[in-house]
Structure 1
């Protein structure tokens, strides 16, 4: 596989494009928004500059990585020669179904269709195509250029050769692939999101404040980042979406989102992306506006 199409130039999409391009693949980065593409390329360039500063790559390596990326506003044009497509659009089942229907029409028969979904059923996504055996989950972790793990999720109809090719490809780009079966939340988020949700419940019930909860988990459990700060980093809207997928999929109340999380998302407090979540990123990273509501 030489030509990799990545759909979505946001945080995950530009990270995936960066990683493949750095390993000498031809990358077609696709987004309907020209501004998103411009911002995505700027992010890739900035991240490459950090690697140059740390002497992990040379300036020539940076320039070659950027040269390996071509941008497209048209899905049809961007995927016409793709050996693999990695969809990294918003975590929305309806949107993903629409994209995969179009991919099925526009991509060559040989093309493997992968989704970076963090929770939505691969089998459900594959069902809208005429090639369900070629649909697979390829769940990267954020930040993509740094994090080694990739969950490789087998849908009900995913062919063995597609699974084997995708696992091999993940290794080529320096990742550690872990094969996972297709159930809501897969492995990473099935374990992570209930922990984050319980941390929010602990805050909601007034047991402790934001920094206290995060400190307990960092110092007591050796987590590199507290669960509430991590939720801000992931995006509270994304956390809510994943919990809703698991709640709907398992019909188990233990996955029901905390009311505080629901209200924060409704209020537009989404974490780092909006400038405020459990922490205030607009003025001081130590501010705890939410925590004061429960003190």
Structure 2
């Protein structure tokens, strides 16, 4: 297996694959793209260059980004040509097992035996895809998020046959691209989409029950807990609100909605151990003394106020009907 990623092929140049290729080209990786036809890949390259020009002109991309895309992003006539001599191949084709099997078989047959191969599947376990891969020990899921040029988190999932030595190599590539790789288990939906889909399902239930409209649910999410999620994950937010408060809240939910919204044992164990979050010294996210608590409070205040100012500067999105609302406190 290669010990460092220097050259990259992206197979599938649509919205996700194109965004990944663009992100890697901007930071200096030579990237070759391939798709169902050379004409489709050439059109994708032209689109990505045009987009980089527009984004650089508006200040969204750094100066020099568009020239980097022009210089580093090339097109191959087919998949086999694209992957033949690169260190890393990112597959980003349709989220259909049969299509991925066909493409991964072609990639792994033509790529160097030392090349690492990553899928960008958002929900399909590695164990359902590696059966099509020649040399599955060099195969893993490298799941970028949409839109790839801007969202910094990437899920990394190794399968039952994956050599774990691939992880630090891929992480170094992601770090160079300004991304953070987080390893999660090989289960359907992994973490990102398991959480995202559960939120959408509960949001849909709220609308179906007549509790709130689609527009009002979206407003609540983006101006309350969704606002905080830009800086803190759910465990940190619960630690700041108080784990005993959450336990009491789950009691109310269980009475109203039944066992599906009962308190998780992970929470009850913390409360039983007397760890109620930052207010009494720590919880899930570690011990918090007085100095660390003050630093946390100061950071949170700066972060939330900066986001309020940013939203005010940007104004409401084209999808919003209301004005920008201030952030809420934890609850």
TM-score (norm 1): 0.71
Paired with 1:64 and 1:285, the residues of 2 have a C-alpha distance of: 32
Matches within 5 A, 1:239-278: none
Unaligned runs of 5+ in 1: 226-253, 255-283, 288-295
Structure 1 residues 120 and 37: alpha-carbon distance in aligned structure 2, compared to 1, 3 A threshold: farther
Q: Which moved more, 1:154-163 or 1:197-206?
A: 197-206
Contact 1:29/1:71, CA 8 A, preserved across alignment: yes
Paired with 1:64 and 1:193, the residues of 2 have a C-alpha distance of: 36
**Cα offset, 1:178, TM superposition:** 0.6
Kindly name which structure, 1 or 2, has the bigger radius of gyration based on alpha carbons: 2
Q: CA RMSD in A?
A: 2.3
**Cα offset, 1:185, TM superposition:** 0.8
Structure 1 residues 73 and 197: alpha-carbon distance in aligned structure 2, compared to 1, 3 A threshold: farther
Match of 2:62 in 1: 57
Contact 1:84/1:114, CA 8 A, preserved across alignment: yes
Unaligned runs of 5+ in 2: 230-259, 261-317, 322-331
Q: Does 1:149 align with 2:130?
A: no
CA deviations 1:259-288 (Å, max 9, x no partner) are xxxxxxxxxxxxxxxxxxxxxxxxx8469x
Structure 1 residues 198 and 52: alpha-carbon distance in aligned structure 2, compared to 1, 3 A threshold: same
Q: Which moved more, 1:109-118 or 1:119-128?
A: 119-128
Matches within 5 A, 1:2-41: 2-33=6-37, 34-35=39-40, 37-41=42-46
1:165 to 161, 164, 169: 169
Paired with 1:35 and 1:135, the residues of 2 have a C-alpha distance of: 26
Q: Which moved more, 1:170-179 or 1:194-203?
A: 194-203
Match of 1:139 in 2: 143
2:219 to 193, 215, 220: 215
2:112 to 108, 117, 125: 108
Paired with 2:185 and 2:29, the residues of 1 have a C-alpha distance of: 28
Match of 1:129 in 2: 133
Structure 1 residues 18 and 142: alpha-carbon distance in aligned structure 2, compared to 1, 3 A threshold: same
**Cα offset, 1:94, TM superposition:** 1.1
Contact 1:19/1:173, CA 8 A, preserved across alignment: yes
Structure 1 residues 201 and 72: alpha-carbon distance in aligned structure 2, compared to 1, 3 A threshold: farther
Structure 1 residues 165 and 8: alpha-carbon distance in aligned structure 2, compared to 1, 3 A threshold: same
Matches within 5 A, 1:222-237: 222-223=226-227
TM-score (norm 2): 0.64
Match of 1:66 in 2: 70
Number of aligned residues: 229
Contact 1:121/1:184, CA 8 A, preserved across alignment: yes
1:46 to 38, 45, 51: 51
Paired with 2:85 and 2:45, the residues of 1 have a C-alpha distance of: 22
CA deviations 1:95-132 (Å, max 9, x no partner) are 11111111121111011110011110112211222311
Contact 1:9/1:37, CA 8 A, preserved across alignment: no
Q: Which moved more, 1:5-14 or 1:65-74?
A: 65-74
Structure 1 residues 15 and 134: alpha-carbon distance in aligned structure 2, compared to 1, 3 A threshold: same
Contact 1:14/1:41, CA 8 A, preserved across alignment: no
SS at 1:156 equivalent: coil
Paired with 1:11 and 1:40, the residues of 2 have a C-alpha distance of: 11
